[in-house]
Amino acid sequence: EQVENKTKGKLQKQICQVVLDHFEKQYTAELGDKWTSVRDVLTCPSCWQYAILLNKFSQSAELENTLRVKGYHLAFRGTLPYLPRSLKCYISRTPRRFPAQKHQTGKLKEYYLLNAASVLPVLALEVKDGEDVLDLCAAPGGKSVTILQCAYPGQFHCNEYDDLRSRWLKQTMESFIPDPLVNLITVSKQDGRQIGDFKPESYDKVLVDAPCSNDRSWLFSSDTQQAKLRLIQRKELSSLQFQLLRSAIKALRPGGSLVYSTCTLSKAENGDVINLILKSCANVMPVDISEMAKAVSQEFTFLCDTQQHELLVLPEKGKAWGPLYVAKLKKI
């Protein structure tokens, strides 16, 4: 049973046992010993880390000074093209919280708090200035904002199916992106599975940050009944993910590429979906992202036995980022 527990005057999150039992079984089978250390991080909120993505449209030297004084350093620095200089993401090795910024009308936000691993799908996408980009499942907009820190797309289309979340996405874009740039972004509310038919061969890059099992947050479900239902419905996610990918492939121009990402460790929603796509779509091929993984390997722990077109970030103490799966495909 879920009961919020009071310790040292603070409300503490409680682990949802049914979810933990389910993960224990599945991930021990899939990850072996590695699951134990991943589980230790995921079940320990005081070990969690947060990255601070600066907004280049609202720069603040004072904020950067504060971050350095507090022990944060810049991640994703390097000379590879995957690591754009305009992207400034601060992280700290020790878990600490930085306050989230409130929405203020007429003022752009200076930073976005996120899991540092969420930057990886955007880096893998390698958006260049002028390219037409579709973010298929975009709310609340963390990756859309990150894309705009890296490059100025030609056409930028952010889509989110859910009504409420689509409004949230719009608000994120308005809080981070200035006029007139924000007016050039299209925010739509379509079923991502159909965008390929509506907009065939229209984009150079597509990000499919798919709806998935959210391992980290599911472990702290406060409603056991809802958690049980989620675990049952979990099996249907792979088919939704497959359909979103098929739509993304249709929406790509030949020569264009897509990045698929999830925040689950589950093989059924990660490698299995990508393998099925590679098997059933003759017009896509895998793209090697191992160089990118190497370039950021200081900050992340990756599962070793993945193929070159994919990576899986495993949370570890001091590098508590992920879970995050990324795969890259190219349309022929």
Enumerate binding residues for ligand SAM (CB under 6 A): 118, 137-143, 159-162, 165, 191-193, 209, 211
Give me the amino acid identity at 143: K
User: How does strand 156-159 pair with strand 185-188?
Assistant: parallel
Distance of CA 316 to the CA centre of its chain: 17
Residue 132 makes CB contacts below 8 A (sequence gap 6+) with: 153, 154, 155, 156, 157, 202, 203, 204, 205, 253
Residues 216 and 320: their CA atoms lie apart, in Å, by 11
User: Shortest approach of ligand SAM to residue 304 CB, angstroms?
Assistant: 25
* Smallest distance from ligand SAM to CB 57, Å: 18
User: Known catalytic residues?
Assistant: 263
Q: Are 52 and 89 in contact (CB under 8 A)?
A: yes
Q: Is 149 helix (H, G, I), strand (E, B) or coil?
A: helix
Sort 106 into a burial class: Cβ within 10 Å, 0-12 / 13-18 / 19+. exposed
- In whole angstroms, give the CA distance from residue 151 to residue 184: 14
3-state DSSP assignment of residue 114: strand
Least distance CB 329 / ligand SAM (angstroms): 18
Handedness of CA 173, 234, 194, 127 (dihedral sign): positive
Tokens of 49: 């880390």
Closer to ligand SAM by Cβ: residue 38 or 208: 208
- 215's tokens: 């391992």
- Write down the least CB distance from residue 12 to ligand SAM, Å: 26
Which lies closer to ligand SAM via its Cβ, residue 64 or residue 262? 262
CB of 170 to ligand SAM, least distance (A): 13
For residues 40 and 90, what is the distance between their CA atoms, to the nearest angstrom?
24
Beta strands 310-313 and 203-209, pairing class: unpaired
Sign of the torsion angle spanned by Cα atoms 172, 55, 93, 62: negative
Identify residue 157 by its one-letter amino acid code: H
Residue with the shortest CB distance to ligand SAM: 192
Minimum distance between the CB of residue 139 and ligand SAM, rounded to whole angstroms?
4
> Residue 271 CB: number of other CB atoms within 10 A?
18
